[in-house]
Structure 1
């Protein structure tokens, strides 16, 4: 029955992707199609089930960012991210450990699947396992198979907790609620020149290590930014030595004219992705970190109410002016429901709270204070 359902979905997806597929074939025959590229986003695994996703796209020719890049080079890179054509309706084979599964890319060139029989034993320490995605040879796109490599996270059995963090205006200064300032940052800066909030990198490293300093607590980064910005966010986190984590971004049909909508629209997908993580890891409790610019407070509250006692604490960075009375009222209401929440404009205050509540080592607060 399940096999029939998968086959029906496969056929429906192929039918939906037909217009985009014809466009790709036409570009190929005219010699306009760029080199196909397979990108695998970081996935995650639990109890033998691995969630893997990625994208089939024309190679955007993006060079690695450099602090010395000119304004024009940064603008050109952002244009490339949003102007490249994705490859819809193409078959992709995901290979992980001892198992493989086929799926189709959707209208936006994105693909995802759940491998249910992956032999990936959990170890005390969290680990990353390599996986591969292959687009078989197809005369309409590329005469030879194209492949890409990615990684899947297996949280350790000895973790203290997991961390789910928003990105824009939580760790990355983005001015998400101010359109012109947001667009200026997107166009004129790159992953190495965009700035984190003071002390956030040291705070996140401390959360990753836990109160004992020897843990490897898993991190998941949730954002309303679209997958087109995946490479920028990975490079940003690596450059600032933020804990390596899984990114869960928003599906959005890329297009140059839609660049200005980046990070906007509904944020309901955040709730759905966080809900998936709580279901995937029923034995892990979570720290939720966000800001008051894009409904994080409401989303995290709904999660805490749905999963009582599994939200350790909620940290909300106050980047948008809110009357103290309103924040106090929200805090009092949530504390009555035994949902701990802290509104704060600074990373240091959150770090002191985390140390007082046994989430990070008290000694790490000194390092965080030094960075702030």
Structure 2
């Protein structure tokens, strides 16, 4: 469809990303505003909103502008699916961050891209995390069945469909104690740090606003949410070689590469592939992984397999936990959080 035949107002969804003092990294998508209300509880509205999240009208090959707090402006374009990725070498980005390390900026449509009336103001906010140099460590966490019950281990994955399409993020309940545990990790052993939290999921980018709302509504520490394209979502997650790794491994490796002096805590669940992925990462970077926490799932066969993976592995602490209290107790004993 052509850009200029569209009638709905335009919007730009800017994903929360991460970078460094010398690297600006901005990612997002330009598309029509489908007016999705994430708080709607009516069954019909749930179905309509679910359809809208995946039936998106994108603004492809369109010129955009980025404006930084210091007045610098950078121009770039979206790809054919409306996505954009801007990675620039910069200097002294930390001076523009707030005390939690977030750099705020604005993205807008370039004037030559706007050939029809926009009902919304042509200013769309975005944020990039620049972790503090005195962070104790970073946290890389799965979302699905780790902090949000999705039903990935259910028969035929029917609970995944029900929870994703027929529940608003406002009605989704986080796993007990998870927000408290993540805030303790965020503040570190002294209780005064701003340790970065990275949320990695196999969900498609179409669910970004849904997951962002859920995390914010349930008081999780703010952090970049790293998802994947809808086309990749339907591909099987097989490890075929160094150039064809699963989404989660690539995201974790990118984070480790971006912050070469920072160590990490990995959090996931025992239901799918988190145990395999985290074990591979721990073997690759044994000096940079402080601990691995895996939430136990109610699936005997999967739990037996996961326990078998770590039977002979003793290089770093690996804990299979039934609840967040066990993880908190272990983290206190290992000096990760304040006692």
Task: Structure 1: give runs of 5+ residues left out of the alignment.
Answer: 1-22, 254-260, 363-372
Q: Which runs of structure 2 are paired with 1:185-264 in the superposition (5 Å)?
A: 185-253=163-231
Aligned partner of 1:359 in structure 2 is 336
Counterpart in 2 of 1:163?
139
1:273 counterpart = 2:251: yes
Deviation of the 1:140 alpha carbon: 7.4
Aligned residue in 2 for 1:180:
158
Match of 1:109 among 65, 78, 82: 82
CA distance in 2, matches of 1:124, 1:234: 20
Deviation at 1:147, TM superposition (A): 3.5
Answer yes or no: is 1:319 the counterpart of 2:297: yes
* Bigger mean CA deviation after superposition, 34-43 or 162-171: 34-43
Cα drift, residue 282 of structure 1:
1.1
Within the candidate set 4, 29, 36, 1:55 is matched to 29
Work out whether 1:150 is the aligned partner of 2:126: yes
SS at match of 2:181: helix
Q: CA deviation at 1:327?
A: 3.6
**For residues 142 and 294 of structure 1, what CA distance do their matches in structure 2 show?**
46
Inter-partner Cα distance in structure 2 for 1:349 and 1:202 = 13
- Are the counterparts in 2 of residues 226 and 263 from structure 1 also a CA contact under 8 Å? no
The corresponding residue for 1:10 is none
Q: Deviations over 1:304-354 (max 9, x none)?
A: 22222100011111225245654443223221xx13211223222111111
Kept in 1: contact 2:38–2:210 (CA 8 A): no
Q: Deviations over 1:243-283 (max 9, x none)?
A: 01111111125xxxxxxx96874271111111011010112
Cα distance in structure 2, aligned partners of 1:330 and 1:112: 37
- Alignment partner of 1:238: what SS? helix
Q: Does 1:332 align with 2:325?
A: no
CA RMSD of aligned residues (A): 2.4
> TM-score scaled by structure 2?
0.88
CA–CA separation in structure 2 for the residues paired with 1:87 and 1:125: 35
TM alignment of 1:120-139, pairs within 5 A: 120-121=93-94, 126-138=100-112
What secondary structure is seen at the aligned counterpart in 2 of 1:241?
Answer: coil
CA contact (8 A) 2:153 2:299 kept: no
TM-score by length of 1: 0.81
* Structure having the larger proportion of residues in helix: 1
